[in-house]
Amino acid sequence: MKIPSIAIARLSVYARNLELLDQKGVEVVSSVRLADACGINPAQIRKDLAYFGQFGVRGVGYYAKELILEIRNILNLDKKWRLGVVGAGNLGSALLRHAQFVDGSYTFVAAFDRKPKRIGAKIGGIEVSPIEAMNDIVKKMGAEIGVIAVKPDWAQEAADLLVAAGVRGILNFAPIQLQCPAHVFTENADFSLRLEALYYKLTPARSRRKRHMKSGSVIAPK
Amino acid sequence: MKIPSIAIARLSVYARNLELLDQKGVEVVSSVRLADACGINPAQIRKDLAYFGQFGVRGVGYYAKELILEIRNILNLDKKWRLGVVGAGNLGSALLRHAQFVDGSYTFVAAFDRKPKRIGAKIGGIEVSPIEAMNDIVKKMGAEIGVIAVKPDWAQEAADLLVAAGVRGILNFAPIQLQCPAHVFTENADFSLRLEALYYKLTPARSRRKRHMKSGSVIAPK
DNA sequence: GTATGTGAAACCGTTCACAGCA
DNA sequence: TGCTGTGAACGGTTTCACATAC
């Protein structure tokens, strides 16, 4: 069965909200209640879960703790994923330091930068290495996912290096679409796209400059 | 006409790729060429642009520079948007410092934190203020968009404060769905959802724990 | 009675295919 | 001729509505 990737993204959201409810002491959650928390249609939730099994009890709902475990299993959140980051500037350092304090599903095992002055620094417990060492270090440390935190003009090259070094997935913070071989999965995490979507929403249509129509082509606009 | 919000997100991508092509000296771009660069269907691009006007020349294509301006106008990228960030930890500081070096469409005009020890620090040229001052400072500085860079357990409260202070949009880096009044637009920029989508893609189905079916309910699985 | 699981319907976005125009 | 702009066809996702199970 084909599972829409947007359904996968929603599973993450369900898990988060279930955890919040669980922390509040809620033991059983109906799809309606969870849907409320997520701002979503209840049938959507039931359909999404149905892709993977039957996790609820008819007439009752879902046991929060149990469903959390199910989703964590589907998304494979219990494994500690090993990440290597390219770019130890503002964003890269923030990611490294952040990970240090979060007991999450991932851990950084390597960091790389092109700038000599950054090499050797320890950030969040990880030493920054030169990109020439990427191949060796990625393999030695078993990094499975590469994180791109470099300027856009260098992002594709960083991706090529990561792919050559053997990562299977790339989380891309640069605002471009990476070209990668089919066996390497990529996800975009660039927030400037999100910000620009906000700009649009915040701009009333009438305030946009009026565009010229081409030379009298429109006689009767519908 | 209803414009799908995903079309808006693509406009950002078109603009980026057009700028890259423009820098390479390309003057005229066909929808096929742009589609190649973006990894997308050409008709999609023409449809997306058609929501906003007629920007191309039949038999020729689009003039890169001109189309860039059109999209910048649609997304309102020429205005300097004024942002205020809540949370001056790793992520918040990285955003502040990053913005300092980017001559982009936005600028940070305020930063807030709940932790006393962070108050008064200058990060990326912006002084960190206590959240009690949010109302005054947001208004005084004319911050239009709030950025949430705090831990998830405090994100909703941060959003409420921003809304009360009068921001019209919120860029949310916390991994929860914010509840906001209808007149405030929100966009989620949390990357853990993206990362979890990667986990799923990288996990072969057979490696997931097999789930029990409920007590003999399935006689003949289809 | 109540809430899940799921076919069927409705809806929406994408792609096709070609008319229209430079 | 060549490429845009766009109605129509298509395909996929969302929502409805109800049979099913507790």
C-beta atoms of A53 and B200 within 8 A: no
Q: Which of A198, A206, A209, A214 to mutate to test the interface with B (most CBs of B within 10 A)?
A: A198
| Structure confidence by residue, pLDDT tens digits, A50-74 | 999 999 999 999 999 999 999 999 9
Indicate the fold that domain B5-74 takes in CATH: Arc Repressor Mutant, subunit A (1.10.10)
- Choose the closest CB to A196 out of B73, B77, B192: B77
CB half-sphere exposure, A116, CA atoms < 13 A: 0
| Structure confidence by residue, pLDDT tens digits, A101-135 | 777 899 999 999 999 999 999 999 999 999 999 99
Residue B137 — very low, low, confident or very high, per pLDDT cuts 50/70/90?
very high
Round to a whole number and report the distance in Å from the CA of A199 to the C1' of C13. Answer: 23
Q: Return the pLDDT at B220.
A: 33
Helices (H), chain A: 5-23, 31-38, 42-50, 64-75, 90-101, 134-141, 152-165, 192-202
B206: number of Cβ within 10 Å: 6
Q: Which of B51, B102, B199, B214 to mutate to test the interface with A (most CBs of A within 10 A)?
A: B199
Question: Taking 60 as the threshold, does the pLDDT of residue A211 lie above it?
Answer: no
Query: Among the CATH numbers 3.30.2450.30, 3.40.50.720, 1.10.530.10, 1.10.3720.10, which is that of A81-192?
Result: 3.40.50.720
- Choose the closest CB to A12 out of B145, B193, B201: B193
Query: Residue A129 forms beta bridges with which residues?
Result: A112
Q: What is the DSSP string of B29-93?
A: E-HHHHHHHHTS-HHHHHHHHHTT---SBTTTBEEHHHHHHHHHHHHT-SS-EEEEEE--SHHHH
Q: What is the rounded CA–CA span in Å between residue B135 and residue A198?
A: 21
Q: Return the pLDDT at A204.
A: 82
The domain spans of chain A are: 5-74, 81-192
Chain A residues with CB-CB distance to B79 below 8 A:
199
pTM of the complete model beyond 0.85: yes
Residue A206 — very low, low, confident or very high, per pLDDT cuts 50/70/90?
low
Round to a whole number and report the distance in Å from the CA of A91 to the C1' of D7. Answer: 46
- Choose the closest CB to B194 out of A98, A187, A197: A187
Question: Taking 90 as the threshold, does the pLDDT of residue B219 lie above it?
Answer: no
